């Protein structure tokens, strides 16, 4: 039962709270031909394969039913139990990216807190109605990290307001 609890806890917290909440707007709002949307769909297909292989020994009937309704392009085998354990691609292991995302986590938590306060005060209905401005002084780790991922809009010196 511990395995099922850990999977459920991961799904409800890390996966749902982080990845799924961050990508749902892309799935709903971007065009079907959007590269971002297709990338999210690909990642979700890989998550599905991982879950099916992980859960198959615990709940085989449910995983076979999910497999039955999965898109044909995902099916390398005719049954989930034949698939074996999911093996992510080697290039997915990027420790530097993981460290960078850990550095951004406190910023994300702060932004989510501010958005929730604005929702409670009825200043906005959802996060899509908000514009976010993050000011990071040049030559700081935060500034370098935002620049590395193309998240800088303009430098402080460029500000006219």
Smallest Cα–Cα separation from 70: which of 58, 57, 83? Answer: 83
Tally: H helices and E strands in the chain: 7, 0
In sequence order, what are the residues at sequence separation of 6 or more whose Cβ sits closer than 8 angstroms to the Cβ of residue 76? 83
Verify that 84 and 102 share a domain, yes or no: no
Q: For tokens 């990338």, what's the residue?
A: 39
Q: Do 100 and 148 form a contact (C-beta atoms < 8 A)? A: yes
Domain boundary among 65, 89, 113: 89
Domain boundary among 89, 106, 128: 89
**Degrees, nearest 5: CA angle 20-26-28:** 95
What are the CA-CA distances from residue 16 to residues 77, 134, 135 (Å)? 28, 25, 28
Q: pLDDT tens per residue, the chain (161 residues)?
A: 688 888 888 888 888 877 888 888 899 999 999 999 999 999 999 999 999 999 999 999 999 999 999 998 888 888 888 888 988 889 989 999 999 988 888 888 888 898 889 989 998 887 777 887 888 888 888 888 888 887 765 444 444 44
Q: Do 101 and 151 form a contact (C-beta atoms < 8 A)? A: no
Query: What is the domain range of residue 23?
Result: 2-89
Predicted structure pTM score: 0.69
């Amino acid at each position: 039962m511990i395995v099922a609890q850990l999977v459920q806890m991961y799904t409800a917290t890390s996966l749902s709270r982080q990845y799924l909440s961050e990508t749902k707007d892309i799935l709903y709002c971007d065009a079907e031909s959007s590269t971002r949307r297709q990338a999210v769909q690909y990642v979700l297909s890989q998550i599905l394969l991982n879950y099916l292989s992980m859960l198959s020994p615990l709940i085989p009937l449910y995983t076979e039913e999910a497999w039955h309704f999965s898109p044909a392009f995902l099916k390398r085998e005719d049954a989930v139990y034949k698939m074996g354990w999911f093996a992510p691609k080697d290039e997915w292991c990027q420790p530097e990216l993981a460290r960078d995302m850990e550095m951004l986590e406190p910023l994300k938590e702060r932004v989510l807190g501010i958005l929730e306060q604005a929702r409670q005060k009825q200043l906005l209905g959802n996060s899509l109605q908000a514009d976010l401005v993050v000011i990071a002084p040049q030559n700081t780790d935060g500034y370098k990290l935002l620049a590395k991922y193309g998240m800088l809009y303009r430098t402080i010196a460029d500000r006219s307001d």
